[in-house]
Structure 1
Amino acid sequence: MSTSSWLVTGASAGIGRAVVEQLLAAGHRVAATARRPERLADLARSYPDLLWTAELDVTDTAAVRKVVERAFQEFGTIDVIFSNAGRGAVGAAEELSDEAIAEQVAVNMTGPIQLVRAVLPYLRAQGGGRIIQTSTMGAQISSPGASMYHASKWGVEGFLESIVGEVAPFGIGVTMVEPGSVRTDFGAALSIADPIPAYAGTPVGQIRRYIEASAGNLTGAAPGDPRRVAAAIIDSATTTPAPRRLVLGSDAYQAIRAALTGRLDEIEAARALAAGTDFPA
């Protein structure tokens, strides 16, 4: 991979941090943003000529536009936009507060959408680029107790699916990364709803007890290696055409395949009913 320039959101931890570390070690330039950019201070000291950092909360659309403008002014050309900021919320749908619902939509869906809208004029002007969005296997499957997390991830993938055809004429590729469970600190940042006693004996209650027993370390035994996940994401940026989806992790592959196969079976079972609602020939 020849030297390139990347813009990374959610760069201070987890997969985002691993991607930034590997890019810098390979000599690439990185505009890294995070709500707490001081967590990147060690990398800034080690790679002063390659790393540019900025504070950014992706839920602040005005700030997204300003940081994007500054990053392109600093770098001139940015080859890859890696949209990685995200957070999870746990709780039954009626347990979640209005604030928690709004945050999930803002962080996981509206923020990435506004980031894409902000970078597109620059990518078009420079003649192309790549947009890579961290999604999850949870954008293809669902589980009780994570309704708004799934809704936000399914929503952002619907947006990205739609714009693939819009931006392809400008040489811009789009990839959705769908990892399974990866050994990061994602679980420590979960927003957990206050419980409603009626759900104690349901699957939501079981999930809550598991989270409480884990003390936030939900991914300590996860199969996904964050460094291998990061390497696969970086490699995908030079794959032509851009892979629409990057399924990473054996658990992700198995869960997504089972979900899609199940949906196809349901559709086939409804074939006669579907045809029976047409106007008569």
Structure 2
Amino acid sequence: MNKTWLITGTSGGFGRALAEQLLARGDRVAATTRKLSALGELAVRFGDRLWRSELDITDNAAIGFVVDKAFADLGRIDVVVSNAGYGLFGAAEEVSDEQLLRQLDVNLLGSMRLVRAVLPHLRAQGGGRILQVSSVGGQVAYPSLSVYHASKWGIEGFIEALIPEVAAFGIQATLVEPGGARTDWAGSSAERAQPLPAYEESTVGAMRRRMAAAGLQAFRGDPQKIAKAMIACADQPQAPRRLALGSDAYEALHSALFARLTALEEQKAIALSTDVDV
């Protein structure tokens, strides 16, 4: 049975791959982007099965207007993909206040705004699915991406709490955690802080040099395969809480979770010792 999807950030990357695959299989897609012209070719190919709108995910009023109009025009939206976001490279000290605020406004607050805007519609229609694009960086952290990680760890906490809040309404949600993929995420769509000389010989500088030398070859993930896996996930009757995508994501998450659990077990006696005496 064909579905209707709402996807943000469809000008490129995962959003574009999702839109193309879904339209090709006969689904309807409400696609949003900051540049409507980026969807012109898809509109020609797929006609009225593609619903388009410009949207700046930092504009709260615009989000409400676009979401309301999409549901009004399409009648029902089965799956909402909160995908819009970008990478910010730089040590915590290097990032400007403006860069910090914009990163959180887009990646964290923008995603929260979108989810909050669609919830009344999903409740009214008796359910639906939310795919929140997070990252392996929602559970793992690397030097030179501290603010980016703050945005992704933050949205993971939001969705974790949301899942039991909306379960009674038939609404399910999944945190999608891709590893490095061959999109433009680390290229022209990313933002970079002004480097400080003090960090040149640190792990931050080393990370910058590795990224510059390797380019796209540093990443293993295939955007088309990642999009296909996301679609398959949404087609399942029961949504997984998390969806790790990419061998690097699996390896990094496994290592981080194992280390975290080991450290917690080592602190068990301390943790138990701080309870009130009875």
The normalised TM-score by structure 2 is 0.97
Q: Which residue of 2 aligns with 1:205?
A: 205
Residues of 2 paired with 1:129 and 1:40: CA distance? Answer: 25
State the distance in 1 between where 2:165 and 2:265 align.
31
Letter in 2 for 1:246: L
Equivalent residue, structure 1, for 2:36: 37
Aligned counterparts, 1:88-237, within 5 A: 88-188=87-187, 189-213=189-213, 218-237=215-234
* 2:248 corresponds to 1:254: no
**SS of equivalent residue, structure 1 residue 219:** helix
Q: Which amino acid aligns with 1:143?
A: Y
Larger displacement relative to structure 2 (102-111 or 233-242): 233-242
1:4 maps to what in 2? 3
Contact 2:137 2:149 in 1 (8 A): yes
Deviations 1:227-271 (A, max 9, x none): 111011011112122111000011100100100000001100001
Q: Is the 8 A contact 2:8 2:84 kept in 1?
A: yes
CA distance in 2: counterparts of 1:233 and 1:134, whole angstroms:
10
Tell me the distance in 2 between the aligned counterparts of 1:101 and 1:276. Answer: 39
Quote the Cα distance in structure 1 between the aligned partners of 2:209 and 2:246. Answer: 25
Q: CA deviation at 1:206?
A: 1.4
Matched position secondary structure for 2:39: helix
1:191 partner amino acid:
E
Q: CA offsets per residue over residues 187-213 of structure 1, 9 Å max, x none?
A: 111111111111111011112233444
CA distance in 2, matches of 1:91, 1:100: 10
Structure 1 residue 240 corresponds to structure 2 residue 268: no
Aligned-partner SS, 1:187:
coil
1-side partners of 2:126 and 2:216: how far apart?
40
Q: Distance in 2 between matches of 1:213 and 1:57?
A: 33
Q: Is the 8 A contact 1:23 1:30 kept in 2?
A: yes
TM-score after normalising by structure 1: 0.96
Following the alignment from structure 1 to structure 2, what is the Cα–Cα distance between the partners of residues 141 and 41?
37
Q: Number of aligned pairs?
A: 277
Contact preservation (8 Å) 1:181, 1:219? no
Identity percentage over the alignment?
52
Given candidates 261, 273, 276, the residue that maps to 1:276 is 273
1:58 partner SS: coil
Residue deviations 1:5-59 (CA, integer Å, cap 9, x gap) = 0000001100110000000000000000001121110000000121011101101
Deviation at 1:116, TM superposition (A): 0.5
Tell me by how many angstroms 1:225 deviates: 1.0
1:88-147 CA-partner distances (Å, limit 9, x unpaired): 111110110001100110111000000000000000000000000111000010011100
Residues 68-95 of structure 1, C-alpha deviation per residue, up to 9 Å, x if partnerless? 0110111010000011001111111011
Structure 1 position 221, deviation (Å): 4.7
Aligned Cα RMSD in Å?
1.0
**Quick check: 2:58–2:105 contact (8 Å CA) kept in 1?**
yes
In the alignment, structure 1 segments of 5+ residues that lack a partner are none
- What residue identity is the alignment partner of 2:38? R
What amino acid is aligned across from residue 201 of structure 2 in structure 1?
Answer: G
Contact 1:33 1:56 in 2 (8 A): yes
Q: Which amino acid aligns with 1:236?
A: C
Q: 1:44 to 1:63 in 2, by over 3 A?
A: same
Write the distance in 1 (CA, Å) between the matches of 2:39 and 2:190.
22
Q: Matched residues in 1 for 2:29 and 2:37: separation?
A: 15
**AA matched with 1:192:** R
Whole-Å separation in 1 of the counterparts to 2:186 and 2:143:
16
Alpha-carbon distance in 2 for matches of 1:194, 1:102:
16
Q: Aligned partners of 1:235 and 1:219: how far apart in 2?
A: 26
| 1:132 match: secondary structure | strand
Q: Can you give the 5+ residue segments of structure 2 that lack an aligned partner in the other structure? A: none
One-letter amino acid of the counterpart of residue 252, structure 2: A
